[in-house]
A and B are shown apart, each in its own frame.
Chain A
């Protein structure tokens, strides 16, 4: 049973516009959330994280929002660039446990 769900398998967005990726989780013990980016034939690379004590974390063009009551987080990419075309994975953990649970991923395509 997947504890982290990314319900949109794909997203297409025009260059310069905002990309919004969504992620839902079911385990109330999760208190640390991460987003990874993956290009084909490469391993995932860490993008941004957020602890449950915050509801927003920003790093350049990337912002992650956390809504604990809804068990929902989202990643905003503004502005979207062609190099952002990749698969994005949402992941979650309980900090007492180093394991990560991953969503199925969302493939983002940025159109010129």
Chain B
């Protein structure tokens, strides 16, 4: 059974703080993704990675960066959190048939 875990379910941060969201998958998948989900907008792709140390921008990368030092771990970084980054963040990994999602991190930036 594929498992994708995210380090936090809920986070509250202040404007300007640096925020790290961690994601780990246990199925040796090469492809990993970060999305944010907002009401009425569905899931929007922030960044993805095809392999260790590789990253590609998604549709809305501004204000975010990522790190993939190990195959199983993909981190999303908010360099200086802003209130418009308040959202649900979802990590996923891909096995050639579908993407498997983690439980999500609900981030509130005050």
Contacting residues, chain A, for B42 (C-beta < 8 A): 2, 4, 6, 89, 102-105
Contacting residues, chain B, for A105 (C-beta < 8 A): 42
Contacting residues, chain A, for B41 (C-beta < 8 A): 104
What is the bound-complex CA distance between A103 and B42, given in angstroms?
6
Interface residues of chain B: helix, strand, loop or mixed (majority): strand
Contacting residues, chain B, for A46 (C-beta < 8 A): 98-100
| A45 CB-CB contact with B under 8 Å | yes
| B50 CB-CB contact with A under 8 Å | yes
Taking residues whose C-beta sits less than 8 angstroms from the other chain, chain A's interface range is: 20 to 34
Contacting residues, chain A, for B106 (C-beta < 8 A): 41
Please indicate which of the listed interface residues B99, B100, B102 has the most CB atoms of chain A within 10 Å of its own CB.
B99
A-B contact pairs, 17 of them (CB 8 A): A4-B42, A6-B42, A34-B98, A41-B104, A42-B103, A43-B90, A43-B104, A46-B98, A46-B100, A91-B43, A99-B58, A100-B45, A101-B45, A102-B43, A102-B44, A103-B42, A104-B40
Instruction: List residues of A whose CB falls within 8 A of some B CB.
Output: 2, 4, 6, 9, 34, 36, 41-46, 49, 89, 91, 98-105
Instruction: List residues of B whose CB falls within 8 A of some A CB.
Output: 4, 9, 31, 33, 35, 40-45, 48, 50, 58, 90, 92, 94, 97-104, 106
